[in-house]
Structure 1
Amino acid sequence: MSDSEAQTAGGCSRCRDLPSLPFEFTMAFQPIVDIEQRTVFAYEALVRGLKGEGAFEILSQVTEENRYQFDQACRIKAIELAARLKVTCGLSINFLPNAVYEPKSCIKATLEAAERYHFPCDHIIFEVTESEPVGDPAHLGAIFKEYRAQGFTTAIDDFGAGHAGLNLLADFQPGIIKLDMALIRDIDSNKIRQSIVEGVFHTTRELGIDVIAEGVETVAELGVLQRMGIRLFQGYLFARPAVEQLPEVHYPNSSPTE
């Protein structure tokens, strides 16, 4: 089955007979590491051009008319490549909630791709960015509910960067939140950011939600976050994204007990 066929297989009437995407893309992979276990917790699939062009160049071609096809194609491409690269940990995929018409129907192509490429559904993490406006919060809640029912993990990306903030967390309890890199940058020398992150981490721990600190670039940032109790990290300190490859992971020495 081709990607275009998979995009519309079993979908609702709004999803059938749509044209193919007018552009091509691939995926880069960046690890999310468990610093305590010194293992890869998951790989995030990040959109790239076929020649390694950045995400912006691809996303700038996404329109209201092709948003659904793009969202579905991203899921399928990520699963296909992860299976080819023999990913055995988690696979984190970004999704566009405004491209999901009806959660139960729109997830069918993802389920079919997971079966076709023999990739376990319980290894898939679906991220929605907090910075993307969601016109219908109830719709996002229905998506999260359906995804959890199918065995997927859900995550809120860029937490702290958008308008919803803690209201989004109050309405939807995902399995994971990813702290926005703006909160992480220079946190070792910024007491205000430290207080905010500590407060968020305390709340999520009470709710049983895992926290990933993204955008970590220095050993000093890592050390402060480790001392707070955070163990999952993503950023250039560990590895840069690699197009259609799993990059080598660097585990720096930090001082979490200082």
Structure 2
Amino acid sequence: MPTLSPTHLLALLEGQGLGVEYQPIVDVASGSTIGHEALARFRCADGRCLSPEQVFCTLHHSPLSLFQLELKIKKLQIRHAPEAGLLFLNIDQDAFATFLGEERHPLVELLAGHPRAVVEIIENSSTSDAQVSIAMLGRFGSAGIPMALNDIGAHDSLVSLDVLARVDYLKLARDWLDRLAGPYGQPLLHGLLDFARQSGKTVILEGVETAEHLQLARRLGIGLVQGYLFRPRFVQVWAPPGESAQRPEPARALA
């Protein structure tokens, strides 16, 4: 993946071109929105959108700059969050690790002040990721902040049983929708759902794009879903530097 130019990165770190998209988490039985996941969005001065993955991957070579951007984005996501419901916030593991050796952690302190915040941990891709995930569980958990494990079952991820056992929400990757046709998909998923029910965890199915996907979640007994089927409910906010963010607007296709 090509890296971004220093000019683009400096603009982002100065607070230019920062945005957030709120994607609803929907109750399968009632169709109501129970909360939102806040996702980072970035764009250049000319309005072209930048890939969040590209931005964060480039900044992983500079941990403090990565943390600086993550903190800016989290403040924006909290400041302009919908007034009701839970707010799910992805925390970059490498950004979090930057302050692991410090007595006070700015991200923990920021989220501890938001009573509806739920911290999402990204599924692990290495042993070191799992170690940071466990550290995140300890720091955020001590602050009384609920935790979710994101992208469970994604094709390129690993599962830490310690993390799986300690989070409050299990977010199933869209990969399960394709995996169910294979020989092991259904027993694996049913085992995971049984574990969630017996341990009192809430399951959210991601990647729901069609009415058939929604019906499948209903048949499986999954209570909450998220995905592009609900795109009309997406909300984007773009924050000009030094100003309050623009009024929330319905999501539109990204260029």
Report the TM-score, using the length of structure 1 for normalisation: 0.72
Matching residue of 2:83: 87
Please show how residues 61-76 of structure 1 align to structure 2 within 5 Å.
61-65=58-62, 66-76=65-75
Alpha-carbon contact 2:209-2:228 (below 8 Å) kept:
yes
The 1:136–1:238 alpha-carbon spacing in structure 2 relative to 1, beyond 3 Å, is: closer
Asked if 1:55 corresponds to 2:52, the answer is: yes
Please show how residues 1-258 of structure 1 align to structure 2 within 5 Å.
21=13, 24-50=17-43, 51=47, 52-65=49-62, 66-82=65-81, 86-100=82-96, 101-102=99-100, 105-106=104-105, 108-109=106-107, 111-112=109-110, 115=113, 121-133=114-126, 135=128, 137-161=130-154, 162-165=156-159, 167-169=161-163, 172-185=165-178, 187=180, 192-239=184-231, 241-244=234-237, 245=248, 247=250
Q: Which runs of 5+ in 1 are unaligned?
A: 1-19, 116-120, 249-258
Q: Which runs of 5+ in 2 are unaligned?
A: 1-11, 238-247
Q: Give 1:200 deviation, angstroms.
A: 1.0
Alpha-carbon contact 2:38-2:77 (below 8 Å) kept:
yes
RMSD: 2.8
The 1:185–1:235 alpha-carbon spacing in structure 2 relative to 1, beyond 3 Å, is: farther
Q: State, as a whole percentage, how many aligned pairs show the same letter.
A: 23
- How many residue pairs get aligned? The number is 218
The C-alpha deviation readout for 1:42-97, integer Å capped at 9, x for no partner, is 11111112445442343344233122112222221110121xxx421111111122
Q: Give 1:177 deviation, angstroms.
A: 1.2
Secondary structure of the structure 1 residue equivalent to 2:37: strand
Q: Give 1:140 deviation, angstroms.
A: 2.5
Secondary structure of the structure 2 residue equivalent to 1:105: coil
Q: Give 1:123 deviation, angstroms.
A: 0.7
Q: Give 1:135 deviation, angstroms.
A: 1.0
Secondary structure of the structure 1 residue equivalent to 2:34: strand
Give the Cα separation in 2 of the matches to 1:133 and 1:81.
33
Report the TM-score, using the length of structure 2 for normalisation: 0.73
Give the Cα separation in 2 of the matches to 1:156 and 1:104.
25
Alpha-carbon contact 2:124-2:159 (below 8 Å) kept:
no
The 1:173–1:125 alpha-carbon spacing in structure 2 relative to 1, beyond 3 Å, is: same
What one-letter code is carried by the residue in structure 1 that aligns with 2:87?
Answer: L
Q: Give 1:132 deviation, angstroms.
A: 4.3
Mean Cα displacement is larger for which, 86-95 or 178-187? 178-187
Alpha-carbon contact 1:127-1:155 (below 8 Å) kept:
yes
Q: Give 1:143 deviation, angstroms.
A: 1.7
